[in-house]
Structure 1
């Protein structure tokens, strides 16, 4: 199946390489072939050695019914509006799972999801449509993640974590077991959520650590 990647910047370049990776091993056949990239900023395309041609702007793009699409823009402000417009015009979206990610057989993965290298998705996990799981993300057993979330590298959700829609989790953030996170939140890099978060919240605080020094005898 040929796919068109929406966006031609850094995140799109990563997805381009995820798709190509399966072809590096001769025992595997890539599930997709990249047909091209669309972006409202042509300069983005010039920055990277992408595998397929530039097909023009997102704004003026006419949906190609014989191809599927992959959301390759990282910014949450643009992801959902573009996806909803494309869906309304009849676009179909592919789910891209890197070959070295682990996805439990009991997990449920939605449409338009992108799963990066070394992601670990445990038993009974649910991942909603158009959520991005960046490199080395770990989703503990029985966690549920909604739609249009951007999960940065090295994020770890402990078991039974529940996450709504349109959330941004910064790099190295984490939850303790059983935490619930609502919608449209921004969790800063390195934050460990030990309390549930409602909606439209920015979570950032400085840790106050007590260091206990033991004198050597």
Structure 2
């Protein structure tokens, strides 16, 4: 199992990874940051894509340890081309309703909650203490920061970044490629990509 990324979010995933995998099976991958050590939590950090391909011959599983939605999508495509199989990591301390739909490669962090009939698409990151309520939809590779709340029937597009403690009110639609600042409250549909902040949220 290779975890893409070897800093912030990747390090937070460590306890969740150990629920499912032995240490000996884990590797981190990061070929962007130059100041990394050789190990993170005693787990090797790989920087060479050729080594990734060789590891995939024995174990094709990988997961996303980065938060940025565009980078999550880009690295998923690259690692699938290298022969990888995108895997979800769902922490045992999260709550996931049996009637929800969870796509491939989803990260659900401790104390997050997914409620009935929610749909979470491929590569989404649901951070700690965030909640996705009944009949919501979260599009591919979007990121929900800690404490964000997506209320009943709201829909979030692809490649969105929802800031910490943001609230999306019931039934609201947010289009693709939107960033919403921390603590914002979205009271109306967002139909144009961009950055939105404040209460109520307006385009920056």
From 36, 43, 57, the equivalent of 2:35 is 43
Residue 85 of structure 1 and its aligned partner are, at CA, apart by 1.5
Q: How does 1:1-217 map to 2 (within 5 A)?
A: 3-20=1-18, 22=19, 30=20, 34-40=25-31, 41-45=33-37, 49-57=40-48, 61-62=52-53, 64-65=56-57, 66-205=59-198
Once residues 137 and 60 of structure 1 are traced to their aligned partners in structure 2, the CA distance between those partners, rounded to angstroms, is: 35
Structure 1: give runs of 5+ residues left out of the alignment. 23-29, 208-217
Structure 2: give runs of 5+ residues left out of the alignment. none
Larger deviation, residues 53-62 vs 190-199: 53-62
Residue 132 of structure 1 and its aligned partner are, at CA, apart by 0.2
Once residues 59 and 171 of structure 1 are traced to their aligned partners in structure 2, the CA distance between those partners, rounded to angstroms, is: 37
Residue 51 of structure 1 and its aligned partner are, at CA, apart by 4.2
Q: Are 1:8 and 1:45, in contact at CA under 8 Å, matched by a contact in 2? A: no
Q: Are 1:186 and 1:201, in contact at CA under 8 Å, matched by a contact in 2? A: yes
Q: Deviations over 1:97-153 (max 9, x none)?
A: 000100000010000000000011100000000000000111110101110001100
2:46 partner SS: coil
Q: Are 1:6 and 1:58, in contact at CA under 8 Å, matched by a contact in 2? A: no
What is the TM-score when the length of structure 2 is the normalising length? 0.88
Once residues 59 and 193 of structure 1 are traced to their aligned partners in structure 2, the CA distance between those partners, rounded to angstroms, is: 44
Once residues 50 and 34 of structure 2 are traced to their aligned partners in structure 1, the CA distance between those partners, rounded to angstroms, is: 12
Q: 1:75 to 1:129 in 2, by over 3 A?
A: same
The size of the alignment, in residue pairs, is 196
Once residues 74 and 175 of structure 2 are traced to their aligned partners in structure 1, the CA distance between those partners, rounded to angstroms, is: 20
Residue 49 of structure 1 and its aligned partner are, at CA, apart by 4.4
Residue 62 of structure 1 and its aligned partner are, at CA, apart by 2.2
